[in-house]
Amino acid sequence: MNNSDNAPANPESCSHDCGSCSSNCGERKTSCNLRVPPHQGSSIKKVIGIASGKGGVGKSTITSLMAVALRQQGLNVAILDADITGPSIPKGFGLTEHAKSEDNAIVPCLSKTGVKVMSINLLLDDQNEPVIWRGPMIAGVVKQFWTNVLWGDVDIMLVDLPPGTGDVPLTVFQTLPIDGVVIVTSPQQLVAMVVAKAVHMAEKLAVPVLGMIENYSYIKCPKCGEIIHPFGKSSTEEAATELNLPILGSLPIDPEIASSFDAGAIESANMEIIIPIVSHIQSLI
Ligand SMILES: Nc1ncnc2c1ncn2[C@@H]1O[C@H](COP(=O)(O)OP(=O)(O)OP(=O)(O)O)[C@@H](O)[C@H]1O
Ligand SMILES: [Mg+2]
Ligand SMILES: [Zn+2]
């Protein structure tokens, strides 16, 4: 084992398997050496991860809105749903069919407007059946979504990550050539604290963090247009300054967003607010 400034005080904490070891010791060369190529039938230009420290902040909703906005630009867009135990992308797009296979590879499903989607829910017979697998197996499935799916030509792939800093974000950050991570947050104090963990994880694995999107930022009164901040003063700005990250944009609490996602009609949602956020992100990658 090489010694370096980063070597852990206790070398026992290194398992000598960089794929599963979180120790940042001298044995870890760069995060790139764990990368695997996608299926040979795939050509994927850019990959963006959508992450958060906490659950329920709106990652899947924002991933879907971003995909629709990018697709509206005429780009080839894909969503890799890396949330194996809580997959929700197919629901937002109203996809209920079974993904087909071709030459031992899986073919992603196509949304109404042509967004390519792969999710565990498109492979299960019963979408309500829970996936009860241990972490390494779940991470293995996510890896297969990269290596065994015939993505074809993709300009931008969005990876909807499960919350937190567990096996799946670790696998995605190490295996996929991520061009940048977008961190979704909400205004409460507690969220800012857990967001820092997600940011630091990406940084440790040398994955660039593009910035933060604040969801549930405000409510616009439908009668008079007054802006209400239901959570009081947001902690996002403070967290962004502390973490030296830009705020890429913010989304209001909008019942229409929730209802269109629930109805599988996210492609018909109002894109006005997400479009400038997406343009901002595109300028960074
Ligand atoms: N801006 C918003 N306005 C109103 N409802 C929203 C908004 N963003 C998300 N929601 C709703 O909040 C719920 C949680 O959102 P979502 O599933 O996107 O969060 P998530 O971060 O992906 O959650 P998980 O951590 O479980 O994967 C959903 O029912 C969604 O429709
Ligand atoms: Mg989600
Ligand atoms: Zn009002």
Look at residue 6 and tell me whether its pLDDT is greater than 80. Answer: no
Q: How far is the CA of 53 from the centre of ligand 2 (A)?
A: 12
Atom of ligand 1 nearest to the CA of 184: 21
At residue 190, the pLDDT reads 67
Query: How remote is the C-alpha of 61 from its chain's centroid?
Result: 10
The mean predicted confidence, pLDDT, of the chain is 88
Ligand 1: residues whose CB is within 6 Å? 52, 55-61, 83, 86, 88, 163, 215-216, 251, 253-254, 257-258, 261
Provide the pLDDT confidence category of residue 129 given band limits of 50, 70 and 90.
confident
Say if CB 266 and CB 68 are below 8 A apart: yes
Provide the pLDDT confidence category of residue 15 given band limits of 50, 70 and 90.
low
Nearest CA to ligand 1 atom 14: 56
Provide the pLDDT confidence category of residue 165 given band limits of 50, 70 and 90.
confident
At residue 231, the pLDDT reads 84
Provide the pLDDT confidence category of residue 104 given band limits of 50, 70 and 90.
confident
Nearest CA to ligand 1 atom 9: 58
Structure confidence by residue, pLDDT tens digits, 17-50: 555 555 556 665 544 468 899 999 899 999 999 9
CATH fold for domain 40-277:
Rossmann fold (3.40.50)
At residue 233, the pLDDT reads 79
Provide the pLDDT confidence category of residue 4 given band limits of 50, 70 and 90.
very low
> Where do the domains of the chain lie?
40-277
At residue 125, the pLDDT reads 82
What secondary structure does DSSP assign to the chain, as a single string? ----TT--SSGGG--S-TTT-----TT---GGGG-----TTEEEEEEEEEE-SSTTSSHHHHHHHHHHHHHHTT--EEEEE--SSS--HHHHHT--SPPEEETTEEEPEE-TT--EEE-GGGT-SSTTS-----HHHHHHHHHHHHHSB--EEEEEEEEEPPSSSSHHHHHHHHHS--SEEEEEE-SSHHHHHHHHHHHHHHHHTTPPEEEEEE-S--EE-TTT--EE-TTSS-SHHHHHHHHT--EEEE----HHHHHHHHTT-GGGS--TTHHHHHHHHHHH-
Residues 199 and 57: their CA atoms lie apart, in Å, by 15
Say if CB 109 and CB 116 are below 8 A apart: yes
